[in-house]
Structure 1
Amino acid sequence: MKLQDERIRDIGLDHLRALAAFMVFSWHFTHAWYGYPVSFEGAPSVFFLAILDEGHTGVALFMALSGYLFAKILDGRSMNYLAFLARRGLRLLPLLFVMLFVVGVQQYFAGNDVLAYLQSLPYGLIEPSLPNGGWSLTVEFHFYLMLPFLLYLCRKSPLLLLSAILLAISLRGYLYMRNGSVFWPAYWTLTGRIDQFILGILAYQYRSLFIKKHVLFVLSAVAFCLFYYCFDRLGGFYQFNGYPSPTPLWIVIPTLEGAFYGLLIAYYDNSFKSSLGWFSQFVGKIGQYSYSMYLLHFFVVFWMADYIHRHIMDISYYYTAQLWALLCFLALVPVTFASYHLLEKPFMNIRVPYIKRATRPPVAVGA
């Protein structure tokens, strides 16, 4: 029974990974980089769809999931840190290297300087400069460097992690006052994203506060969607007083995202036993393949939108484009299935144990 419960819980988290992957895919499909085929102006009248119209926020959901999952795995346990890094490398690097190689081939056939491209890649360890979503892996890597310290604070008292969030908010406030904008560090670096990892950790530690709190979740979801609806109407990611946006909202947007997504994850993971029926398992499989979807969709998503818009039907109307985004997303599932089994799973099967021993009894859900 215990193994089955763990399996069900994992399916629940995979449902959320699938949602995050679709949010990012939909954002790129509907808007590309320049408001095509759907312009950036306005926002969908169905207000909760604003989080799809501003689907870049799916990255925040991925990062909150990462913090939550590591807190869950390591609850009451210590780890071999070098083994942990090795295991994460085996999990993430093979597909990343394949993606970077394909981008290099594209650069070659486009007549670009391949040597300059290769020389730029090492900077991706420090700067969020890797292509096709690879920048977020740089942020994830920086989080791994801080993880032992964050877990130490969490063992002392989870509330100590709030001091790290307050420090990050203060730093973003300082950068805003100094530069007149904090968009770049808030969105592209750990300076903003650290809130989401930490709030994912805290969501696990205080998960008992969210179990079956349906009214709390609904009110929080409505408030978050209304925030993004207003943000979207004011111009959103690209057109809120220009790009990069000078709005001070970017001081707190990472925190708001992390707080809501942490609540969503803890609520969904602990309030329900996800069905093992075909639909639940299908969505769970999409979540299982979400890393492949995230890195590989860049190669086709813009072409898909352009081809449909020019050769099949006009999809400049948001709701039409959103429906096509869902169909194209599902069409890529067989590709991500193949990628997962060929480029991810073989390396995941190389077991590198990193959990050493229990440091304290794990806290029971609902305690």
Structure 2
Amino acid sequence: MHRLPGLDLLRAWAIVWVVLFHSYVVGGLGEDFAWLGNDGWMGVDLFFVLSGYLIGYQLLAPLARAEPLAWRAFYRRRAFRILPAFLVVLAVYVVWPALREAPGLAPAWQFLSFTLNLLIDYGHDKAFSHAWSLCVEEHFYLLFPWLAWWLVRRPSPRKALAVGLGVVAFGMAVRGYVWLHAMAPVMGQPGPAFGLRFVEGIYYATWARLDGLLAGVALAALRVGRPQAWTQLQRHAGVVLAVGLGLLALAWWLFRERLGLWPSVAGYPLLSLALALCVGASTAMPARRAVPGAGWLARVSYSVYLSHKLALHAVATWWVGPWQLNGLVAFAFYAAGVLVVGAALYYAVERPFLRWRERLDGRRPQVTADIGAAA
């Protein structure tokens, strides 16, 4: 199926950014490279916007054509896409404690039920904690098809706008409440309580982290419901990208104090809007401008995301530490380890199941047309 080079480039950048940020599990990248990953957590928000746009379009496009929503096919495709690689990595974490990047691991049932982000004790269970974002996406996959079906039954721009603004306002209210009632009382006190309450109450909780997914869905709704406006957006992609980058710079400035009240309350909607504009502009990127390697990195990004902390820990334990590597040499070893482990997971597990999924879809041409339009 045709791939969009602009979206591939953003997905590739998102995974690189996240891996650089998570280099803290091996002590960071050193003074010379620390700046590369300081704000890499924003890569997760970029993934959210991309998911919201792609999944939103897959669901909204057939509904806008008055076609029935293929519920079973949608959930089956998501299961084939998400579960195989995830279960393999989870098994590694459970069976081989020595490979974990941190000693504590949440109970396996929290991962299997995708409730990790709601129940985690981050102070003790940091291993594989980055699966929190997968939990948020799974909740989105489970609930959004029903919401989309309900909204399209009796289409109303006002109703859709009210729902969207309500989600944003609710998230802002939750984050503000947690900050004022859980974080402010321990501000300035010794110990990690302030940061832990931020992670567990604001950063990980699904109901506080829907801004990126909503921004992506809004982008998809614009493409489906206002095709003329979408055409104008693509025609002026350069201007849209410039505005998006400007808002991204503003969000970056606001997040200088990442744990502060105003970044926690208003920063995520601003960041999501900026990234959505960048995603919208990137859809107009012509194939001839594709960046070499970006498409491949985009394809393996999910496997890399799942396994990169295991890879970083393994490289640090078996090579960088014993050989006393540092600087560019250590950086190269870490990069190679992350890519090799991620690629192995992709080619051995993820891709075979994706091909199996496509063979099943080949027997259901109507399902393929409904669900696979924007994959």
TM-score, length-normalised on structure 2? Answer: 0.72
**Cα distance in 1 between the residues matched to 2:59 and 2:309:** 33
Which secondary structure state, in structure 2, belongs to the residue aligned with residue 36 of structure 1?
coil
Q: 2:233 aligns with which of 207, 210, 216?
A: 210
Query: CA, structure 1 residues 325+188, in 2 after alignment: closer, same or farther (shift >3 Å)?
Result: farther
Residues 48-105 of structure 1: per-residue CA shift (max 9 Å, x gap): x5xx421111111111111000122223314222332222112111111110111112
Q: Judge conservation of contact 1:80–1:354 (CA < 8 Å) in 2.
A: no
Deviation of the 1:139 alpha carbon: 1.0
Paired residue for 1:24?
A: 18
Residues 304-342 of structure 1: per-residue CA shift (max 9 Å, x gap): 467548846544xxxx69xx6577435643443332222
**Cα distance in 1 between the residues matched to 2:106 and 2:10:** 38
Q: Judge conservation of contact 1:187–1:254 (CA < 8 Å) in 2.
A: no
1:196 aligns with 2:199: no
Residues 199-241 of structure 1: per-residue CA shift (max 9 Å, x gap): 0011233352532342342243144235425634x4x4xxxxx
1:284 aligns with 2:309: no
Paired residue for 1:169?
A: 172
Q: 1:64 aligns with which of 49, 52, 60?
A: 49
Aligned residues: 325
Query: CA, structure 1 residues 82+283, in 2 after alignment: closer, same or farther (shift >3 Å)?
Result: same
Identity %: 24
**Cα distance in 1 between the residues matched to 2:265 and 2:204:** 13
Q: Judge conservation of contact 2:48–2:212 (CA < 8 Å) in 1.
A: yes
Q: 1:345 aligns with which of 342, 351, 356?
A: 351
Aligned pairs for 1:254-293 within 5 A: 254-269=268-283, 271-275=284-288, 279-280=291-292, 282-293=293-304
Which secondary structure state, in structure 2, belongs to the residue aligned with residue 210 of structure 1?
helix
1:142 aligns with 2:139: yes
Aligned pairs for 1:1-367 within 5 A: 7-9=2-4, 11-29=5-23, 31-32=24-25, 36-38=28-30, 44=35, 52-78=37-63, 79-107=69-97, 117-118=107-108, 121-122=111-112, 124-125=114-115, 127-128=117-118, 129=120, 131=128, 133-151=130-148, 152-153=150-151, 155-157=155-157, 158-160=160-162, 161-180=164-183, 183-184=198-199, 185-206=201-222, 208=230, 210-211=233-234, 212-225=236-249, 227-229=251-253, 231-232=255-256, 234=257, 236=258, 245=259, 247-269=261-283, 271-275=284-288, 279-280=291-292, 282-304=293-315, 307-308=319-320, 311=323, 314-315=326-327, 325=331, 328-329=334-335, 332-348=338-354, 349-350=356-357, 351=360
Deviation of the 1:12 alpha carbon: 2.8
Q: Judge conservation of contact 1:169–1:251 (CA < 8 Å) in 2.
A: yes
In structure 2, give the amino acid aligned to 1:344.
E
Query: CA, structure 1 residues 106+229, in 2 after alignment: closer, same or farther (shift >3 Å)?
Result: farther
Structure 2 residue ranges without an equivalent (≥5): 64-68, 121-126, 185-196, 224-229
**Cα distance in 2 between the residues matched to 1:186 and 1:142:** 16
**Cα distance in 2 between the residues matched to 1:204 and 1:115:** 37
Highest relative contact order (Cα 8 Å, sep 6+), 1 or 2? 1
Deviates more, 1:290-299 or 1:345-354: 345-354
Structure 1 residue ranges without an equivalent (≥5): 1-5, 237-244, 363-367
Query: CA, structure 1 residues 98+58, in 2 after alignment: closer, same or farther (shift >3 Å)?
Result: same
Deviation of the 1:268 alpha carbon: 0.3
**Cα distance in 1 between the residues matched to 2:247 and 2:103:** 47
Q: Judge conservation of contact 1:132–1:296 (CA < 8 Å) in 2.
A: no
**Cα distance in 2 between the residues matched to 1:63 and 1:268:** 16
Q: Judge conservation of contact 2:211–2:268 (CA < 8 Å) in 1.
A: yes
Instruction: Report the aligned-residue RMSD.
Output: 3.8
Q: Judge conservation of contact 1:18–1:287 (CA < 8 Å) in 2.
A: yes
Deviates more, 1:221-230 or 1:18-27: 221-230
**Cα distance in 2 between the residues matched to 1:57 and 1:219:** 18
Query: CA, structure 1 residues 217+192, in 2 after alignment: closer, same or farther (shift >3 Å)?
Result: same
Deviation of the 1:286 alpha carbon: 0.7
